[in-house]
Amino acid sequence: MQRIAVFPGSFDPITLGHFDIVKRAIPLFDKIIVAIGENAQKNYMFSLEQRIDFLEKTFHGFPNVMIDTYKGLTVDYCKVKKANFILRGLRNPADFEFEKAIAHTNRALTHQELETVFLLTSSGKSYISSSIVRDVIRNKGDYSLLVPNAVKIN
């Protein structure tokens, strides 16, 4: 059976923390789907097309990393994609508590068939979040130290 992981998120924008998690997870899975969840209620800084472009450029040259979008529950998307793992990154204890509750819910919804795999963000990247990056961008700061080179703001 192929080991397929979904790495869900809004990626508004992708950060070096996200990149770190995916890059380190590549040896663990046969395929990783970086999946942008669409939420009509959220106000994104970057359009869906921009976020897809950032991800495609960032993971160009990584043959087992795919980029996709989805609406609805992540567990339903995983079922459609025949994924048996959800990949999540943890930066701090608060992330763990939040992600643990979601992981338990996802296992219950899938009758224990979907595992969540947590990777700790590398220590030098644990402070980076998309919301911090957006704040730096809004305030005309140097965001380039926080995101992959593919993230360019015109």
Which residue in this structure is represented by tokens 């990777």? Answer: 119
Q: Which 8-state DSSP code applies to residue 72?
A: S
Q: What percent of the chain has pLDDT over 90?
A: 84
Nearest of 148, 118, 121 to residue 133 by alpha carbon:
148
* Active-site residue, selected from the candidate residues 42, 111, 123, 140: 42
Q: Is 134 annotated as a binding residue?
A: no
**pLDDT tens-digit map of 48-70:** 999 999 999 999 999 999 999 99
Q: Is 119 annotated as a binding residue?
A: no
Nearest of 41, 31, 33, 37 to residue 51 by alpha carbon:
37
Q: Is 77 annotated as a binding residue?
A: no
The pair of structure tokens assigned to 114 is: 């979907």
Q: Is 126 annotated as a binding residue?
A: yes
Q: Across the chain, what does the average pLDDT equal?
A: 94
Question: In this predicted structure, what is the pLDDT of residue 50?
Answer: 97
Residue ranges covered by each domain of the chain: 4-151
Q: Out of 2-16, 19-33, 78-92, 110-124, pick the least confident.
A: 110-124
- Alpha-carbon radius of gyration of the chain: 15
Residue 149, pLDDT above cutoff 80: yes
**What pTM does this model have?**
0.94
CA atoms within 13 A on the CB side of 139: 7
Q: Which fold, 4-151?
A: Rossmann fold (3.40.50)
**23 a catalytic residue:** no
Pairing of strands 85-90, 115-120: parallel
| Residues 6+ positions from 76 with CB-CB distance below 8 Å | none
CB 13 within 8 A of CB 49: no
Distance (Å, whole) CA 113 – CA 24: 24
Question: In this predicted structure, what is the pLDDT of residue 147?
Answer: 97
The residue type found at 10 is: S
Question: In this predicted structure, what is the pLDDT of residue 136?
Answer: 96
Question: In this predicted structure, what is the pLDDT of residue 36?
Answer: 98
H/E run at residue 68: strand 65-71
**130 a catalytic residue:** yes
* Active-site residue, selected from the candidate residues 47, 130, 138, 144: 130
**104 a catalytic residue:** no
